Structure 1
């Protein structure tokens, strides 16, 4: 028995959602970068470690994803969801350390909301592209 495909939403329903999810994802991505930068460069006591090195290690995964996020590539948004798990875990661990609780909850919250918006963008963008292709 063949599986019946669920009909795709209309283009006028998908278009504003794709646009909103993309801009929300981009804003949250930049907010996560800013949070990491401000925390490691200005607020965190690294006990003699070079803040640029620590920040660089934390920003490498995001720097790899940045070109695709800026151009709105749906596949990069999907990969971002995988990478964000690292930041979410780090945020939750930091949230239970004295002196890092605020940073931890902010990082976990930003990574969770970015995960949701990137996931929705990926879903709606692929549906939008399929609808444009005539499916």
Structure 2
């Protein structure tokens, strides 16, 4: 027996939610970038590691997603949901260390916010595109 399709929300309902979730995900994305940059440049004790290598490893996944996030690509936001889990895990692990507790909590909260906002944007954007294409 086939399931009945749920009707899609109206375009008027989707538009403000898409705008807000995209703005919040973009804000969280930039906040995560800035947090990693500031922490590693100013506060991190790298024990002799090269700062450029550490920044490259930490920022490369975000740099690959940046064009799509800035342009509002729904698939880039969906991929961000996968990638940001690495930063959430790193933040939780850092929060356990008293010397990095503040950094860890901030990283975990920002990455969690990015995950939620990017997920909502992806969902609403695909619903919006389906509605525009005439799918009921």
- TM-score of the aligned structures, taking structure 1 as reference length: 0.98
Q: Where does residue 51 of structure 1 map in the other structure?
A: 51
Aligned pairs for 1:93-132 (under 5 A) are 93-132=93-132
Query: Root-mean-square deviation (CA), in Å?
Result: 0.7
Q: Please report how far the alpha carbon of residue 122 of structure 1 lies from its aligned counterpart in structure 2 after TM superposition.
A: 0.2
Structure 1 stretches of 4+ moved >4 Å: none
Task: Could you tell me which runs of 5 or more consecutive residues in structure 1 were left unpaired when the two chains were aligned.
Answer: none
1:47 is displaced (CA, Å) by 1.8
**1:46-71 per-position Cα deviation (integer Å, ceiling 9, x unaligned):** 12222121111100100111110011
Aligned twin of 2:86: 86
Distance (whole Å) between structure 1 residues aligned to residue 96 and residue 2 of structure 2: 50
Count matched residues: 135
Residue 70 of structure 1 corresponds to 70
Cα displacement (A) at 1:112: 0.3
Residue in 2 that maps onto 1:33: 33
Normalised to the residue count of structure 2, the TM-score between the two structures is 0.97
Which structure 2 residue ranges, 5 or more long, are not aligned? none
